[in-house]
Amino acid sequence: MKLRCVLTENGPQVEALKSETTNIWVRLSAVEKLDDISRKFNVKNSLATSVLSTLELGQDGWQMLSEQVDACSIENIESEPVVTLPFQPLSFRDFLLFEQHFIDASRGFVKRFLPKKYRITVLYETITGKTFPKFKPSSLWYEQPLYYFGNHLNFVTSGNDIHTPAYTQALDYELELGAILAKPLLNATPEEANKAIGGYVVLNDLSARDVQMAEMRSGFGPQKAKHFLNAMSQIVVTADEVNDRIDRLQASVTIDGINRANCTTSNMQYSLGEAIAYASKNEQLHPGELFGSGTLPGGSGMENGHWLRSGDILTLRIDGVGELTNRIV
């Protein structure tokens, strides 16, 4: 199922996509047997007003709800609502799951900010045919999933402007897949963690690149380089529509209508199930927490060379998940 949240005079309301062909959305408050579905799957909060509650249903519940949405009459369908952030994350952990992204981003960083050293790395890679050693992740990354905590309160969605911080001259985007936890976890196995994922969104982990390196070298991780803003798609796709092909999703970056990069979710070092299971090690995880995959290889300006400028219209897209479009100001 594809879900979104709309603003009404009665507060937020959840809608489900009935027809992709005609882009018809059904408000869940108009769906028959909604309360029966909630009781059957022991969901305490209202399905009609909370995307997170709808994600708690699980695959059997989504199937039952989808049948009710399909049966909903046209009179219960409203057009052109105000679509808002689908949910407010309880926390935001961002993993680094793609080795190739780290290598290419490191190479791109040196090329832009350390051009003299970049010439040395080019010479090394040309002569040896090998990746410059410092472009690779640390040895710890090959032993366990690594992540940082982002600012879960500063999320916007499609249609919102992205304001460039005054302190950066190198604003960058990062195309990522976001996984939404729908069940509590503690010391989970990868299989249990994967089953606890309720849905997926497209993420943009925005970065101030000229600030980032100094902060990383401080030993405390990214701060102002990352925490000013993030973005997620308006639509949440339930996990059952994605899980069986999560390692082969195709994605793209478009700026002002021009395709700038094609990406894929293949070649993760760790699956999202493995990564989330690691995060649950002796730590209680809660429904509503958001987990980023890390940047898909090629999905940042630092890798593909197409940096953001004021006035750009940026669209990040993952096939089968959705798209995220914002204007840079």
pLDDT of residue 221: 82
Distances (CA, A) of 78 to 24, 87, 157, 165: 8, 20, 21, 37
Handedness of CA 224, 164, 90, 238 (dihedral sign): negative
Tell me the C-alpha distance between 133 and 77, whole Å. 57
pLDDT tens digits, 159-210: 999 999 999 999 999 999 999 999 999 999 999 999 999 999 999 999 999 9
Q: State the pLDDT at residue 78.
A: 58
Per residue in 96-149, pLDDT (tens digit) is 999 999 999 999 999 999 999 999 999 999 999 999 999 999 999 999 999 999
Q: What is the CB-side half-sphere exposure of residue 105 using CA atoms within 13 A?
A: 23
Range 53-80 average pLDDT: 85
pLDDT given for residue 79 in this prediction = 62
Nearest by Cα to 12 from 77, 69, 71, 88: 88
More confident residue, 244 or 216: 244
Domain 91-98+140-327 has CATH 3.90.850.10: yes
Kindly report the average pLDDT of the chain as a whole number: 95
Between residues 47 and 218, the one the model is more confident about: 47
Angle at 173 between CA 308 and CA 171, to 5 degrees: 50
**What pLDDT score does 73 carry?**
76
Report which residue type is found at 248: R
pTM value is: 0.95
Alpha helices in 83-197 (DSSP H): 99-113, 115-128, 190-196
Which residues make up the CATH 3.90.850.10 domain(s) of the chain?
91-98+140-327
Phi-psi map region of 320: left, alpha, beta (phi>0 left; psi -120 to 50 alpha): left
